[in-house]
Structure 1
Amino acid sequence: MNVFYLICLFVTICVVNGKMRPRGVSISMASKYQPNERNKFNCINGFGEIPYDHLNDDYCDCDDGTDEPGTSACANGKFHCTNAGYIPKYIQSSRVNDGVCDCCDGTDEYGGKIECVNNCKELGKAMREEQDQKRRLHEEGFKKRDGFIAEVKRIMEEKNVKIQELEKEKAELEVRLKELEALKAEHEGPEKEAKDRHEQVWKEQKEAKEKERSALRAREAFDDLDLNKDGFCDILEIIPHMEFDIDSNGIVSEEEAKEHLEDQEKVDFDEFSSKIWGNIQGIYKKLVPEEEKKETPPPVEPQGETETLVPPEEPQEEEHVDEEKMPEYDEETKALIAAADEARKKYEEADKRSKDIDGEITSLTSYLNTDYGKDKEFAVLRDQCYEYTDREYTYKLCPFSTASQRPKSGGHETNLGRWGRWEDDHYKTMVYDHGQNCWNGPDRSVKVHITCGPEHQLTNAYEPSRCEYAFDFVTPCACNQPPPVHDKDPHDEL
């Protein structure tokens, strides 16, 4: 600190570069404190004029407090800390000579209450070192950003070329699909005719066998009902069969029996099989003789150690071929089916490829149409994910896709939002919305605040308001042109 500056600390008005400057006034405001031709000072707001020697006389004359920049006389006054070598600033005039060093150059405490050490140069040096470090990191990020832009340009060109190739393949495939569809129809016609013929023959055979079995059951039922064997089934022979009890009163009346005989007194077998059997075969039950109804006494358990009795083998019923299962196709039909299957396979493969191409084109178009910043620098973040963990949750950000959180202790992942848009044209804030709904509240959403840094990193996650989250994300993509390096400290006013 030069001697001239020390003197200025203890006088009301200094002269710098030929201009008068009262204590507490910045160099940029010094011209407003020059005396007029009548040696008067005009209050800065234009309301009032005072003698020039009333400046900093510890009495507030101006309403705006501008006549006392170097004292605490005015409640609304402002004292300017020059802080040569560091950052100049204004403080409330009430803090002048209050025993606390507010200015790093100590100019606010000239009354003798306390001796302030001027540490502006040390603070300025530390600040410049910090600024230099930030500048270096910014330059590092900026170089990476340039690399990203070049990489993205190459990727975009590749994707455009890929779309053109896919569209060409799609056009060729559409022609091929029409040919394969015609070939498929050509083979499916004879296949269907052969299969229909085979199934019709099988159906007719089944119906014939069923008709034969039904006739046999009708004969057995008629013989069972014809108790007197006179060749007729009459009302009295129907009455013993309780399955014909229409009103479920435990008795088959003559009227009920006659109703089952289609209002006839008796019928012969031909009439029974053609008119009666079809109506009663679902409920008909063969009579069981009374002696067969008697219960068989339970077997007596053997006493003591005896050999295990093996029950006699029951006669096994003759196994019948499952007539419900259609027999195999003949060789000619099998060949027609194989040819149709091959035609269908080729068509389905081509159709699947066509749908896959549509999906690829949609995905590529979506990639190309997304807003990745002024120079598309943020495109390198797509298909990547970054995590940040605090005491309770692990947060995940997948740029241009989703944001989510999951408990550290385990559990389901909660969708906080899907990529929506940039909040403004400066590409500083991403918005992810339409996340999982909060109970009795809105859908979750996230704002991602982006700053410059040498690496991609999710550095913080918090919830400013219920169900509305905020992430801090550092990336070289946000490093624009770094500020120029100044040889001279712009804050050094003296």
Structure 2
Amino acid sequence: MLPKLILICCLAVITSGSIPRPRGVADSNASHYQPNSENVFVCIDGSQSFPYTYVNDDYCDCADGSDEPGTSACPNGKFTCTNIGHRPLIVPASRVNDGVCDCCDGTDEYSGNIACVNTCNELGKKHKEEVERIMKLQEEGVRKKKEFAESGKKMKEEKKARLEQLQADREAAETERQEMEAKKDEAEAPEKEAKDRHQKAWDEEKARRSAEKDAAAGMTAFNELDSNNDNFVDVLEMVVHNEFDIDSNGVVSEEEAKEHLEEVEKVDQDTFVSKIWPNVKQIYKPLVPEEAQSDGEASPPAEPQGETATPPTPETPTQDDSDEKMPDYDDETKVLIEAADVARNSFNAADEKLKSIDREISSLQSYMNLDFGNEEEFSVLKDQCFEYTDREYTYKLCVYERASQRPKSGGSETSLGTWGRWSGPENDRYSSQLYERGQNCWNGPDRSVKVHFKCGPENQLTNAYEPSRCEYAFDFITPVSCSGKVSPLDTHAHDEL
């Protein structure tokens, strides 16, 4: 680099009259590059001032690099491409005269070391076409958005009116239910009394029948045991029955027989039926006549050692008394039952009507509490589900409800989260939604999804990815995100400088 004094001497002398804007200056900063009456330049950050001849002298004097907008002398300098026919472009000053054409008009390569072809008009035309395409897309999206908003507002008003009507209907339904419940209780009281009376009579009848059967079985057993027909059952008649073997040694002793006879030598029929039979009826077995055995009937198998319980005798009823069918109700009770049934049916209908109203009220209140955007435009997405499939998974988004993924090869669905809240920045709140509290990751957090909304011609889930472990992101295009304005971010990616 030449000494400072030599560079200054070699630069054009500032004379009175108009001073052209220095190379690389943006329109927004042009006012800073008009020398005052003393031909002094002040750094844009105001830190220093010096002769205007220091501007673009290939020596960095300002800390902010503002004195070298057209050279690469300052590491933090910025060069503005004029790009007439296209749009201005700011590039790092380090790219000035580096042998690469960064500006479409080639103004960054003024040293002559490389010849740049001016492509600004061509790029400007393409950029204009792209802007027009995006504008058309935005306009169509805005048109649909307005339709969705009108539909959403209408829907909300209808649901609001329906909710108000249901709240009024609920009061009447609650009153009706209370009336039907009172009538039901009034009809069921005499019904219950009559049924209880009928049941009590039946229980007494079953008890009487059971007692008769038991007494008959006891008398049969007494007659079988009274082998000498002296109208008594004594110890000697008991010892021949192996089922009375208490210690299971294969022999019934007189003491064991006497124990079954309540410690007496013999009992008559009445005593046997009333006192002895209730204690022995579960183990008693009638003897098989010898002639029956000689005719080829097999003898009853010997009782296993240590077992005393035996099946009931054939005379003992094997059918539980509770299996007997209760007689029909009398006509008076049937009338009471019929009246109670009518009251119950009326109450059940009133109760279900109230529950149905409550369910609908709850559903409407949930809908009314949802934030569908400033103009209710997002309501069109409610109750709709969308899918996107990549190489491994199919992702599913049910807007305002849940998000999930499932393997393409088959398998169970994994919850990525349920509806949480709008999560866009303060100046663009409706640009993203958060779905949270999904299935827990092993040794990690619960899964969650952030859905990013962008302007598009149709409602479509276009991408799914995982920026960080167990935290997913979906890209969703929809007309309801169209604003009618073109952001520079919408077209930068299409510039080919």
- For 2:220, the equivalent position in structure 1 comes to 220
Partner of 1:274 in structure 2? Answer: 274
1:451 pairs with 2:449: no
TM-score by structure 2 length? 0.82
2:479 corresponds to 1:476? yes
Alignment CA distance shift 1:52-1:163 (3 Å): closer
Contact 1:21–1:27 (Cα < 8 Å) also in 2: no
Counterparts of 1:185 and 1:13 in 2: how far apart (Å)? 112
After superposing the two structures, state which structure 1 stretch, 19-28 or 453-462, moved more.
19-28
Task: Kindly provide the amino acid, as one letter, of the partner of residue 474 in structure 2.
Answer: F
1:187 corresponds in structure 2 to 187
Q: How far 1:75 moved relative to its partner?
A: 3.1
Q: Does 1:83 align with 2:86?
A: no
Conservation of the 8 A alpha-carbon contact between 1:388 and 1:395: yes
Distance 1:29 1:241, change over 3 A: same
Q: Using the TM superposition, give the Cα deviation of residue 432 of structure 1 relative to its aligned residue in structure 2, in angstroms.
A: 1.2
What residue is the counterpart of 2:68 in the other structure?
68
Change (3 A) 1:415 1:293: farther
Secondary structure at the residue paired with 1:427?
helix
Cα distance in 2, alignment partners of residues 444 and 93 from structure 1 = 45
SS in 2 for 1:447: strand
The answer to whether the Cα contact below 8 Å between 2:131 and 2:486 also exists between their aligned partners in 1 is no
- Between the aligned partners of 1:252 and 1:53, the Cα distance in structure 2 is 138
Distance 2:13 2:22 in 1: 4
**Distance in 2 (alpha carbons) for counterparts of 1:376 and 1:35:** 55
Matched AA of 1:348? N
Residue segments in structure 1 that go unaligned for 5+ positions in a row: 1-10, 299-318, 485-494
**Correspondence 1:431 to 2:434:** yes
| Paired position in structure 2 for 1:492 | none
Whether the 8 Å contact between 2:14 and 2:53 is mirrored in structure 1 is no
Letter in 1 for 2:410: G
Shift in Å at residue 277 of structure 1? 1.0
1:385 Cα shift? 1.9
How many angstroms apart in 1 are the aligned matches of 2:484 and 2:73? 46
Query: Where do 1:114-129 residues align within 5 Å?
Result: 114-129=114-129
1:147 corresponds in structure 2 to 147
- Cα RMSD between the aligned structures? 3.2
CA contact (8 A) 1:19 1:30 kept: no
Gap change, CA 1:50 and 1:175, over 3 Å in 2: closer
Label 1:126 to 1:402 Cα distance change in 2 as closer, same or farther (>3 A): same
Superposition misfits of 4+ residues, deviation over 6 angstroms? 11-15, 319-322
- Matching residue of 1:380: 380
Q: Aligned-pair distance for 1:119?
A: 1.2
Aligned residue type for 1:471 = F
Gaps of 5+ in 2: 1-10, 299-317, 488-497
In 1, are the aligned partners of 2:153 and 2:375 still within 8 Å (CA)?
no
1:12–1:113 Cα change, 3 Å = farther
Amino acid of the structure 1 residue aligned with 2:434: V
Identity of aligned residues (%): 58
Q: 1:13–1:23: 8 Å Cα contact kept in structure 2? A: no
| Match of residue 419 from structure 1 | 419
* 1:196 match: 196
8 Å contact kept, 1:14–1:20? no
Residue 118 to residue 294, structure 1, CA distance change in 2 (3 Å): farther
Separation of aligned partners in 1, 2:12 and 2:241: 134
- CA shift digits 1:297-349 (9 cap, x unpaired): 99xxxxxxxxxxxxxxxxxxxx9999622223334433332222122111101
Q: In structure 2, give the amino acid aligned to 1:474.
A: I
Partner Cα distance (1:227, 1:93) in 2: 131
CA contact (8 A) 1:240 1:252 kept: yes
What SS does the corresponding residue of 2:430 show, helix, strand or coil?
coil
| AA in 2 matched with 1:454 | P
**Retained in 2: the 8 A contact 1:422–1:430?**
yes
Residue 21 of structure 1: SS of its match in structure 2? Answer: coil
Cα distance between partner residues in 2 of 1:294 and 1:449: 97
